[in-house]
Chain A
Amino acid sequence: MELILKKIEVFQSQKKTRKQVQIKLYFFLALVLMLLLVSACAAIIVPYDPYAQDLSIALQAPSSEHLMGTDRYGRDMLSRVIMGGQTTIFSALLLVMIITVFGTLVGVFCGYSGGKTDAFIMRVSDVFLAFPGMVFAIAVAGVLGGGIINAVVALACISWPKYSRLARSQVLSVKSMPYVSAAKLSGSGPGKVVFKHILPNIVGPILVTATLDIGTMMMELAGLSFLGLGAMPPIAEWGSMMSNGRSMLQTAPWVILAPGLAIFVTVMLFNLLGDTVRDALDPKIK
């Protein structure tokens, strides 16, 4: 079965043309940009004030007036989901950006320089990788206290080693390539060799991992918030919204389904974008 699947995949990847992949890439990029735009302008778009409480309309089912219903304080769920997107998506993006840049720089430095520093830093990152991530994040967030920024810091602390490992292994495979030697023979210094000749050739897998990680990080941030270690109420954030709604799953399912659906769609979208970026960077597709 797996073999057949693999064959189908190979067949499909052969059929993909550069053009198709590009169209797909632009399509998903457009969707993601739309999502980002909506989140960025959340304060203007929202139909109701996401923080205005009105207990007289608490826990109303979805209707034409409140498309996603209201929560137990009578806050409009649609407004809260849109507002929550801002918190969730942008903190996930910030987080991924931090760990990608930091992890990659560390990995490239280690891979290129080698020697004792390399061995030392890699052992440190091994230590980070050996901890069960979420547990460690919970510990860090617990020490730092609640708040979305602290959740980002906690997850950044445990997630960068993945990127430094990836970048380091990529650098090791590229740095012995003849074109790197040729660049040195052209009189390029280490900076130019790394940033002009090595980085552009290893950025592909890193970018793909980063794009795919946006979804994962969003889930983990939501997870921390769900546990009460991320966004603090009353801030709208998908994870904490789900957490707050979980006791009402049977009586008012929309309170948990609305942010749940938002997470699902957004994570899916970023994953699809990640896959397409991978295809787009694959030099074999013509």
Chain B
Amino acid sequence: MSKILEVRQLVKEFSKGSKTIRAVDDVSFDVCSGECLGLVGESGSGKSTIAKMITALESPDAGGIFLDGKGITGLKGREQRAVYKDIQMVFQTPTDSFNPRLKLGDGIMEGMINHGISRPEARKKMLETLKICGLSQEYADRYPHQVSGGECQRASIARAIVVNPKLLICDEATSALDVTVQAQIVELMRQLKSENHMAYLMICHDLALVQQLCDRLLVMYQGKIVETGTPDEIIMHPREDYTKRLIDSVF
């Protein structure tokens, strides 16, 4: 399988008052095409920071990120925009991820319009994608506060996949939703996974969910990757102490 995303020796430090903390400490991993890679770890272990660096919302202090072999750190303007055709993200809090003053449909179309697709065409594609994500046409003209969290997360997934990205990052995309809705969203993702050839980077707290969806798993602890393997391997036979504790705390 070809590698879509390569992350090499990534470092990110934040200064808190006088001391600096290494939120991400020398992290390297690959994501192959069509693969679903899970990233688990306790709160504060640096998972979101990695996602933010891949999507250029934060800039790394050291290390490189490569998309199809090309470095994508420190890009500006048009070049960065081109990267956003290939990398998209679904956020943790669905309602907050849509501008409260714009209709969901406009939020979903924004990416396509920025990438030069005409309005009518973008609208057609947007409605199609909404349908794929299990929302009827009328949702396009609703505002974020007029839909439920689950529906909003479907719209958010629609916004991410409407530009046909090669890599979809889900940063705890289900953790703000209640259990039944979570299951529906997971089902939607599984369906999308079998239909498209998109690679996933699933950031997640929920080991059960990771086990259902992911092909491979990274376990993070204090900014470092401490263990990799298939979900079954890791959950049944954890090698590191930290992983054992993480698993015990869930099951």
A188 and B114: CB pair below 8 A? yes
A178-B93, A182-B159 known; A188 vs B110 contact (CB < 8 Å): yes
> Which residue of A has the minimal Cβ distance to B57?
A181
Give the shortest distance, in Å, between B37 (CB) and chain A (any CB). 19
Tell whether B73 is near chain A: CB-to-CB under 8 Å: no
Q: Which residues of A contact B110 (CB under 8 A)?
A: 183, 186-188
- The answer to whether the Cβ of B100 comes within 8 Å of any Cβ in the partner chain is yes
Residue contact B159 to A178, C-beta cutoff 8 Å: no
Point out which of A184, A186, A192 has the most chain B C-beta atoms below 10 A from its C-beta: A186
- Hey, what's the 0/1 contact readout for B103-119 against A, CB within 8 Å counting as 1? 00001001100110000
Task: Write the A221-250 contact mask toward B (1 if CB under 8 angstroms, else 0).
Answer: 000000000000000000000000000000
Residues of A within 8 A of B100 (CB): 179, 201, 283
CB contacts (< 8 Å) of B92 on chain A: these are 178
Within 8 A of A (CB), among B28-50: none
Asked if residues B91 and A181 are in contact (CB atoms below 8 Å), the reply is yes
B89 at interface, CB cutoff 8 A:
yes
Say whether B221 faces chain A, with CB atoms less than 8 Å apart: no
A185 and B55 contacting across the interface, CB-CB below 8 Å: yes
B residues near A115, Cβ cutoff 8 Å: none
Task: Indicate whether B98 reaches chain A with its CB closer than 8 angstroms.
Answer: yes
B101 contacts partner chain A, Cβ-Cβ < 8 Å: yes
Could you say which of B96, B97, B101, B111 contacts A187, with CB atoms under 8 Å apart? B111
Return chain A residues, CB-CB under 8 Å to B114.
Answer: 186-188, 192
Cβ-based interface call for A177 (8 A): yes
- Asked if B88 is an interface residue, CB under 8 A from chain A, the answer is yes
Contact B91 A201 (CB under 8 A): no
Size band of the interface chain B makes with A = 20 to 34
CB of B145 within 8 A of CB of A186, answer no
A66 an interface residue at 8 Å Cβ cutoff? no
Candidates A187, A188, A196, A283; contact of B145 at CB < 8 Å: A283
- Asked if B101 and A200 sit within 8 Å, CB to CB, the answer is yes
Please indicate the chain B residues that have their CB under 8 angstroms from the CB of A196 in the complex. Answer: 99, 102
Instruction: Please encode chain B, from 152 to 163, with 1 for each CB lying within 8 Å of some chain A CB and 0 for all others.
Output: 000010010000
- A184 to chain B: closest residue by CB: B57
**With a CB–CB cut-off of 8 A, which chain B residues contact A181?**
55, 57, 89, 91, 97
Q: Mark B15-37, 1 if CB is under 8 A from A, else 0.
A: 00000000000000000000000
Q: Which residue from B84, B96, B98, B99 sits with its C-beta under 8 Å from A185?
A: B84
A186 B111 Cβ-Cβ under 8 A: yes
- B residues less than 8 Å from A201 (CB atoms): 99-101
Most A CB contacts (10 A, CB to CB) among B89, B101, B114 go to: B101
**Which B residues lie within 8 Å of A200 (CB)?**
99, 101
Chain A CB within 10 Å — which of B77, B85, B99 has the most? B99
Nearest chain B CB to A216's CB is how many angstroms away?
Answer: 28
Q: Does B81 have its Cβ within 8 Å of any Cβ on chain A?
A: yes
Closest-by-CB residue of A relative to B77 is A189
B98, A182: Cβ atoms under 8 Å?
yes
A197 at the interface (CB under 8 A from B): yes
Given contacts A185-B55, A186-B159, A189-B77, contact A179 B97 (CB under 8 A): yes
- Chain A residues 172 to 208 lying within 8 A of chain B, measured CB to CB, are 177-179, 181-189, 192, 196-197, 200-201
In the complex, chain A residues whose CB is within 8 Å of the CB of B97: 178-179, 181-182
Measured between C-beta atoms, what is the minimum distance from B155 to chain A in Å?
11
Point out the residue from A182, A187, A192 that lies within 8 Å of B115, measured CB to CB: A187
- Interchain CB contact under 8 A, A178 and B96: yes
Q: Please list the 5 inter-chain residue pairs (A to B) with the smallest Cβ-Cβ separation, ordered nearest first.
A: A186-B111, A187-B114, A178-B97, A187-B81, A178-B91
Give me 12 other A-B pairs in contact (C-beta within 8 A), A182-B89, A183-B99 excluded.
A178-B91, A178-B92, A179-B107, A181-B55, A185-B84, A185-B87, A185-B89, A186-B114, A187-B115, A189-B77, A196-B99, A196-B102
Could you write out 20 A-B pairs with CB less than 8 Å apart?
A: A178-B96, A179-B98, A179-B99, A181-B57, A181-B89, A181-B97, A182-B97, A183-B99, A183-B110, A184-B84, A185-B111, A186-B159, A187-B85, A188-B110, A188-B114, A192-B114, A196-B102, A200-B99, A201-B99, A283-B100
Chain B residues in the interface with A (C-beta under 8 A): 55-57, 77, 81, 84-85, 87-89, 91-93, 96-102, 107, 110-111, 114-115, 145, 156, 159
